[in-house]
Chain A
Amino acid sequence: MTIGSVPVKFRISVDHDQCMLCGRCVENCPYDVFRLENGKIHVNSRKCVACHRCIAMCPRDAINIRERPVDYRSHPVWTTEAREAIYNQSRTGKIILAGMGNAKPYPIIFDSLVLDACQVTNPSIDPLREPMELRTYLGKKPSRLETRQRDGDVEVLTSLSPNLQLETPIMVGHMSYGAISLNAQSSIARAVTETGTFMGTGEGGLHQSLYPYQDHMIVQVASGRFGVDINYLERGAAIEIKIGQGAKPGIGGHLPGEKVCEDVSCTRMIPVGSDAISPAPHHDIYSIEDLKQLVRSLKEATEWKKPVFVKIAAVHNSAAIAAGIARSAADAVVIDGFRGGTGAAPRVFRDHVGIPVEAAIASVDAKLRSQGIRNEVSLIASGGIRESADVAKVIALGADAVYIGTAALVAMGCRVCGTCYRGLCPWGIATQRPDLVARLDPEIASRNVANLIHAWTLELSELMGAAGINSIESLRGNRDRLRGYLLDESIMKVLDVKPVGA
């Protein structure tokens, strides 16, 4: 018995009275939804992924997309997604791949936390009139300062480790060349250079054309070691060892051979057209002491001049793992929450493995404090940061800085259609097809990303000023300035926040 067709996800309609037959939709849709025949635009709705490229390009607003025009009989247990996954797997017998971040409707903790503001007993601070400090240093810090008085001068006996200096606590996370296009990477590179912050290279090497921005790039060493050589390590402002990723904790990565073009093959140092497979574990890290060795090796290789970060996915035991990492020579721990995005991940991992970054940061910060080592390492939060309020909240929960990923892509046009894994991104972001990549103009896209970082930085300053705080370190871990709104008692205990009204 055949399963037959499942209902279309999207229904496209074209208003033929409005349509001027310009053909932009035909030209722009890489999924072949549209065709112009006999003086009329025809559509194949089944191919649509709702990337909105046609909508954005149509000069007459003649196109309309409806989600799920025909749905299944509603059922609270047997959701559409559950049924379709079964049809899919009963046909293929395979693991289902999915793009972007976690798509399950888990409650978002950020949305149940509210921020504080000053009234009467202390004045709020106007960032337009008073200094507001968002500068953040990432890296090892001394646990205490040894000083000596000498001829009336104070001499510092403690030596400072190299730190990254950020003008705003917002960085752009690791998205490799391969996963995203070179135009997308160079747009981000220009934006972070302009705004005085940093971006990650991902595990895809560092393309030559990005060398001018290398002082703002954190180079990644992941389990496939693609693109890693001494030249790469020395060019980065910092080095990040990627152990895991929030979107797919516990598994590796796979860049299909189709995406490995000439250029990608050069930066990754692999043959053209070969699959780039990053194994699940690093095969030289089977324990915490192995990680410590790798951190030291990377530091030795770069003469202890560069901070080394370690990124882990937010999992149940993050706090203890982070405490272990903090005891190595590592300078910062990155905690990637289960809402983190990805080009491709098995759906079952994306939706079911890991924990939210809010809870992970809160427990890591608390654990490090209980061991008296919190200020010695930096803590970077990532995975599901959607706006400046999320940045403020996660810093108040204990993070030093954040990585954004999806938000930066959205700033370049991404509509979160979640089809990155097909490599046909019509916005020129998650694709290597030259004609599609050419659609992304780094001149404009870099401006968009820089604008976004700038706007969030302004909002963060305003939020801090309203809370009577003029330096980011006084917001960090300041959970007294958060309240939980309709959060249950157990999660408030983990977050160490009081309920609203208390």
Chain B
Amino acid sequence: MDGRAIRSALSMMDERGSGEGAGYVAYGAFPEFADYYAIHVFFDAIHETKAAVDQELSKWGTIVHEEEIPTFEQQNIRKIHTPWRYFFQPDARLMPRSTTPEDDIVMHLVMKVNTSIPGALVYASGKNIAIFKASGWPEEVADFYRIQDYKGYIWLGHNRYPTNTPGWWGGAHPFNLLHWSVVHNGEITSYGTNRRYIESYGYRCSMFTDTEVVAYLFDLLVRRHHLAPELAVRALAPPFWDEIDRMPGREAYLNRAIRLTYGPALMNGPFAIVVAKPDAIVGFTDRIKLRPLVTGTMGDRLYISSEEAAIRVMEPEVGDITMPRAGEPVIGRVYT
């Protein structure tokens, strides 16, 4: 699929935004560089800041290819950053004790650049994953990057109504770390707890917004702790104790174990979230569903949205529109 469909879907939900932030992610966007980490950076004053990032990357591996991300002037988008992408090959030997050395090097680089090089923000770092975001309406951001020129097998899109950091490109969704991308509607009231928990595992929250912890939590739980994605969702939006008490023995034990082990990862407050990784997407809401979530399928495609209208504009004949229960994950797997 190219980016046209998701652009039209988001245009149905302009009511939900304020024209101050929108973004898209496409999985499978760089077939010619599919094996390299596509590190996306917003530079403030590129001639001053880029050298430091180049140097940091070169310390940990090889820049295979790099380019300024092509953009096309839009009336309402002021180009305050220069978006840049590197295709990067980390040197696994530099992280000898890790079981996933390349991922760990890239994660380290992301945290390092974002916390220590002013004027440079890494906003994407996965393989074969393109992120397009800026401050503007979703249609403008789509045209700014011409997302119709990119093809992907998973697309996420987001329209922002910023309260925290209006106009800042880094604050637009999707948020990405390594292979994880997240779009989020809502506000996480447990952010203070979640952030402190994830930071004790070496992650650094640098985006001034609550959504980034979701990407880090998935990275910790699924990549590093090897939980299945549905169990990670269970940790983030677990059943209530009353429900667990009524479950049969083994199921109750599993759920109790998840809540005891990952209590600080539990996310509170209103949210609907879609998380993508290269072989799947997961959509879920908070435990009492304070934000809407609608799903539909058509053939081998799964659609997840805040509103049915957005799905219908992409797939007018969609048959099975459903509204998942609070906390219940909807999982779409990529089969090959």
Contact = CB atoms under 8 A, between A and B. Distances in A.
Best-buried of B190, B266, B269 by chain A (most CB within 10 Å):
B190
Contacts of A121: 163, 187
A88 interface: no
B196 interface: yes
A156 B225 CA distance: 13
Contacts of A478: 190-193
Best-buried of A125, A130, A374, A468 by chain B (most CB within 10 Å):
A468
Interface residues of A, number: 45
B200 A476 contact: no
Nearest to B253: A156
A396 B191 CA distance: 12
Interface string B212-253: 000000000000011110010000000011100000001001
A328 interface: no
Interface in B29-46: none
Contacts of A125: 288
Nearest to B263: A473
B252 to A, nearest CB: 11
B256 interface: yes
Contact of A470 (B201, B256, B257, B268): B268
Contact of B189 (A142, A146, A469, A476): A469
A134 to B, nearest CB: 10
B261 interface: yes
B1 interface: no
A208 interface: no
Interface string A193-225: 000000000000000000000000000000000
Contact of B288 (A130, A142, A143, A160): A130
A369 B227 contact: no
A470 B267 CA distance: 10
Q: How large is the interface on B (under 10, 10 to 19, 20 to 34, 35 or more residues)?
A: 35 or more
Nearest to A470: B268
A479 interface: yes
A121 B201 CA distance: 29
Contacts of B241: 133, 135
Best-buried of A121, A143, A396 by chain B (most CB within 10 Å):
A121
A147 interface: yes
Contact of B260 (A154, A160, A468, A469): A160
B262 A145 contact: yes
Contacts of A156: 253-254, 257
A145 B253 CA distance: 12
A481 interface: yes
A73 interface: no
Interface of B: 163, 186-187, 189-193, 195-197, 199-201, 225-228, 231, 240-242, 250, 253-254, 256-264, 266-270, 287-288, 290
5 contacts: A122-B269, A122-B270, A131-B288, A142-B257, A374-B197
